[in-house]
């Protein structure tokens, strides 16, 4: 069940704009309650829906293509060797 009042509203009563809500969602800085509210909001806000899909597609591309693989094994060995020589 989606929350009825806007959980993005700040304690000072300031109501966020669509863009402000969207940024928090894309930046993954929201609570589950806020996420639920926003997904309900997108159901009747086409600009948010379109922008959300593009931004999330970019985020997923970044995560799948830019995580760069593992650190070479020799770095780990070299670090441990140097640490051991510091403590010896």
Partner 1 sequence: MELEEAPRQHYTENEKQLIFNNEFMPHIHSMYNFGYRLTLDRDDAKDLVQDTYLKAYRFIESFQKGTNAKAWLFRILKNSFINDYRKKSKEPNKVDYQEVEAYYNSEEVDRLITPDLRVESLKDMMGDEISNALNSLDVDFRTVIILCDLEDFKYEEMAKILDIPIGTVRSRLHRARNLLKEKLKSYAKTMGYNNNA
Q: Using CB under 8 A as the criterion, which residues of the chain lie in contact with partner 1 when the complex forms? A: 23, 26-29, 53-55, 57-59, 61-63, 65-72, 75-76, 78-79, 82-83, 86-87
Q: How far is the CB of 1 from partner 1 (least distance, A)?
A: 27
Going by C-alpha positions, the residue among 12, 8, 31, 33 that lies closest to residue 21 is: 8
Measured from the CB of residue 25, what is the shortest distance to partner 1 in angstroms? 12
Report CA-CA distances (Å) from 37 to 3, 29, 45, 47: 6, 14, 12, 16
C-beta of 2 vs 27, nearer to partner 1: 27
In whole angstroms, how close is the CB of 83 to partner 1 at the nearest point? Answer: 5
Dihedral, CA atoms, 49, 50, 56, 57, nearest 10 degrees?
140
């Amino acid at each position: 069940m989606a929350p009825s009042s806007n959980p993005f509203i700040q304690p000072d009563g300031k109501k966020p704009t669509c863009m402000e809500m969207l940024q928090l969602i894309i930046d993954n800085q929201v609570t589950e309650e806020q996420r639920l509210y926003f997904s309900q909001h997108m159901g009747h806000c086409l600009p948010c829906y379109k922008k959300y899909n593009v931004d999330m597609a970019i985020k997923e591309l970044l995560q799948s293509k830019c995580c760069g693989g593992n650190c070479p094994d020799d770095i780990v060995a070299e670090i441990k060797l140097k640490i051991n020589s510091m403590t010896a």
